Amino acid sequence: MTSNSRGLLTHSHRQVSLMFLLLVKFFIWSSFTLAATETSNLSKHPVVIIISYDGFRYDYMNKTSTPYLDQVKRNGVSVPYMRIQLSAFTYPNHQSIATGLYPEVHGIVANTMYDPLYDKELSGYVDEPGYWNFSSDSTATRSSVVPLYTSNELAGDGRYSGSMMWPAGQEGWGENNTKVTHLVNYNVSRWDWEWEVDQVMKWITHPTKPANLVYLYIEEPDYTGHRFGPEGPEIVQQIQRIDNVTGYLLTQLESLGLKDKVNLIFLSDHGMQEMKPLAIAKFMHVMDNTDNRMYHDYGRGSTFMQIRPVRENDTLRIFNAFNAAAKDNHYTVYLRDEVSKMKPHWHFAHNRRIMPIFMIPEPGYLFEGIAPRNYTWGTHGFDVDEPSMRPFFMAMGPLFKNNSVQEPFDNIDIYPLVCHILNIEPRPNNGSLERVLPLLASSATKASRMSLLLLAVLTGAVINVEAGGVINMIEIDFLKRTSILNEYEI
Ligand SMILES: [Zn+2]
């Protein structure tokens, strides 16, 4: 074959390729129009609902029958557990999930913490002014940290976010104080989970502002885990309740014809540790601190203790004193400026809200400061490397793998994952898309089969290998435009 004839052949193939391209595009357009007619109010963007069951430990599904959660696991992708951020509490970890940032970066290092900028202890429980609006710029009045539900709103083109009781979901963020379109404030006294699910269904099918990203928070089984501990019959009852609300969500989606169109991410913020009666980590006797002459302490009666020396020069002396007493009193002491060397994977040092000394008790022990409990109960906030602190993670939907178990990853990776799904440019973050890409189905492969089938129907043509190659190129173009892929995946 001469080079000229090869050129003609290539030209002829281009014409065929163009015809295929037009046909495929017609099919894709018509199938999407059809889908849009069936569920007219669903967002034109991929839809993601992130559901957090507070304190749902990685192994809770082994404790009882969970048919609906099993269904999610079977039809979706799961991991043995998910890694979380220090400190192992609700607000730091929900904020890390929403921002993809370590607590030392987003500034929510504990549920309550001292902030030298305000010279006071701030509490997320009462939504203290200044608690969420952390900025490394001490003169800034508004946080430069932007959760994904806000970035989704800012991305425009018909994107709307919902926050159902998600911690900090009620906050405005960024220069324009942007808030989510659909909001129910964080309020742990609300217990009607089916009502919450009903609202979320209304948000994603809203006639004019359908949400394509919703964060849904449910306060159990954390509440019961605290009250009765993670090993008793009470927690089993709550796991079954959680399974039932999962079933309710799946049923509602199915009745709306959305079950195969919405991507669901089920996760938790931390695990739960059984607490034995009267197991107390004592620290107050270590040195005379009358009238706070040596230090201020934050975290009495909890599992995370921050120590702020009155005089910076005393830091090492105070550390050494606590360190000498630590083993006998069931805790470990950390010098903030040494943490980067001792526990580099914690990323817990560079923030004004992390005090020069902090202490974490052994699992099962609580720092003194409240009346000792003479019964078994449960809590969290321990070393994040402890298995009891691990939460669960599962995901199901058109973009996730089926019946697949993958390697554990970090909760900060969910941010780049969801940005990827929604085709939103991620802000600088600490997560890794690479670690979570294995959760996603090979959409290109699925679409390839669909396109080949359609071409055969439309043209009656015998499609050769080369035409298949063209289709793959077209698919990639299509998938990029429809947010399913980006350059990275290709
Ligand atoms: Zn929690």
Q: Which residues of 404-432 are buried (b: 16+ CB within 10 A; e: fewer)?
A: eebeebbbbbbbbbbbbbbbbebbebbbe
pLDDT value, residue 141: 66
Q: How far is the CA of 411 from the centre of ligand 1 (A)?
A: 13
Expressed as residue numbers, the domain containing 353 is 280-375
Please state, for a pLDDT cut of 90, what percent of the chain lies above it. Answer: 73
Q: In terms of domains, do 154 and 61 share one?
A: yes
Q: In terms of domains, do 186 and 297 share one?
A: no
Q: How far is the CA of 102 from the centre of ligand 1 (A)?
A: 16
The sign of the CA dihedral 57, 410, 398, 193 is positive
Q: How far is the CA of 92 from the centre of ligand 1 (A)?
A: 9
pLDDT value, residue 26: 43
Torsion of CA 152, 157, 160, 161, to 10 degrees: -10
Contact between 435 and 424 under an 8 Å Cβ cutoff? The reply is: no
Q: In terms of domains, do 242 and 362 share one?
A: no
Task: Give pLDDT tens digits for 340-361.
Answer: 999 999 999 999 999 999 999 9
Higher-confidence position of 104 and 482: 104
**Tokens matching residue 201:** 């269904």
Q: In terms of domains, do 399 and 429 share one?
A: yes
Q: How far is the CA of 241 from the centre of ligand 1 (A)?
A: 17
Q: Which of 318, 349, 375 is where one domain is finished?
A: 375
Q: In terms of domains, do 65 and 159 share one?
A: yes
Q: How far is the CA of 169 from the centre of ligand 1 (A)?
A: 15
Q: How far is the CA of 266 from the centre of ligand 1 (A)?
A: 14
Tell me the average pLDDT across 417-442.
Answer: 97
Q: How far is the CA of 329 from the centre of ligand 1 (A)?
A: 26
Contact between 303 and 382 under an 8 Å Cβ cutoff? The reply is: yes
CATH number at residue 208: 3.40.720.10
pLDDT value, residue 404: 98
Q: Tell me the residue type at 22.
A: L
Q: In terms of domains, do 451 and 414 share one?
A: no
Higher-confidence position of 161 and 452: 161
Task: Give pLDDT tens digits for 1-29.
Answer: 333 333 333 344 444 444 444 444 444 44
Contact between 104 and 340 under an 8 Å Cβ cutoff? The reply is: no
For the chain, the domain total comes to 3
Comparing 30-39, 156-165, 328-337, 478-487, the range with the smallest average pLDDT is: 478-487
pLDDT value, residue 140: 67
Check pLDDT > 70 for residue 83: yes
pLDDT value, residue 443: 60
Q: How far is the CA of 312 from the centre of ligand 1 (A)?
A: 33
Task: Give pLDDT tens digits for 318-339.
Answer: 999 999 999 999 999 999 999 9
Q: In terms of domains, do 371 and 392 share one?
A: no
Tell me the average pLDDT across 182-209.
Answer: 91
Q: How far is the CA of 271 from the centre of ligand 1 (A)?
A: 8
Q: How far is the CA of 421 from the centre of ligand 1 (A)?
A: 26
Q: In terms of domains, do 116 and 164 share one?
A: yes
Task: Give pLDDT tens digits for 252-309.
Answer: 999 999 999 999 999 999 999 999 899 999 999 999 999 999 999 999 999 999 999 9
Q: How far is the CA of 224 from the centre of ligand 1 (A)?
A: 11
Q: In terms of domains, do 310 and 455 share one?
A: no
Q: How far is the CA of 62 from the centre of ligand 1 (A)?
A: 20
Calculate the CA 81 to chain-centre distance: 13
Q: In terms of domains, do 21 and 107 share one?
A: no
Q: In terms of domains, do 137 and 249 share one?
A: yes
Q: Tell me the residue type at 162.
A: G
Give the per-residue SS3 of the chain: CCHHHHHHHHHHHHHHHHHHHHHHHHHHHHHHHHHHHHCCCCCCCCEEEEEEECCCECCHHHCCCCHHHHHHHHHCEECCCCECCCCCCHHHHHHHHHHCCCHHHHCCCCCEEEECCCCEEEECCCCCCCCCCCCCCCCCCCCCCCCHHHHHHHHCCCCCEEEECCCCCCCCECCCCECCCEEECCCCCCCCHHHHHHHHHHHHCCCCCCCCEEEEEECCCHHHHHHHCCCCHHHHHHHHHHHHHHHHHHHHHHHCCCCCCEEEEEECCCCCEEECCCCEECCCCCCCCHHHCCEEEECCCCCCEEEEECCHHHHHHHHHHHHHHHHHHCEEEEEHHHHHHHCHHHCCCCCCCCCCEEEEECCCCEECCCCCCCCCEEECCCCCCCHHHCECEEEECCCECCCEECCCCEHHHHHHHHHHHHCCCCCCCCCCHHHHHHHECCHHHHHHHHHHHHHHHHHCCCCCHHHHHHHHHHHHHHHHHCCCCCCCCC
Task: Give pLDDT tens digits for 143-187.
Answer: 779 999 999 999 999 999 999 999 999 999 877 889 999 999 987
What is the average pLDDT score of the chain? 85
Q: How far is the CA of 335 from the centre of ligand 1 (A)?
A: 26
Q: How far is the CA of 414 from the centre of ligand 1 (A)?
A: 17
Q: Which of 424, 440, 456 is where one domain is finished?
A: 440
CA-to-CA dists, residue 197 to 44, 109, 355, 417, angstroms? 21, 30, 40, 23
Check pLDDT > 80 for residue 487: no
Q: How far is the CA of 460 from the centre of ligand 1 (A)?
A: 57
Task: Give pLDDT tens digits for 227-241.
Answer: 999 999 999 999 999
pLDDT value, residue 187: 75
Check pLDDT > 80 for residue 87: yes
pLDDT value, residue 138: 66
Higher-confidence position of 224 and 461: 224
Q: In terms of domains, do 427 and 313 share one?
A: no
Q: How far is the CA of 416 from the centre of ligand 1 (A)?
A: 22
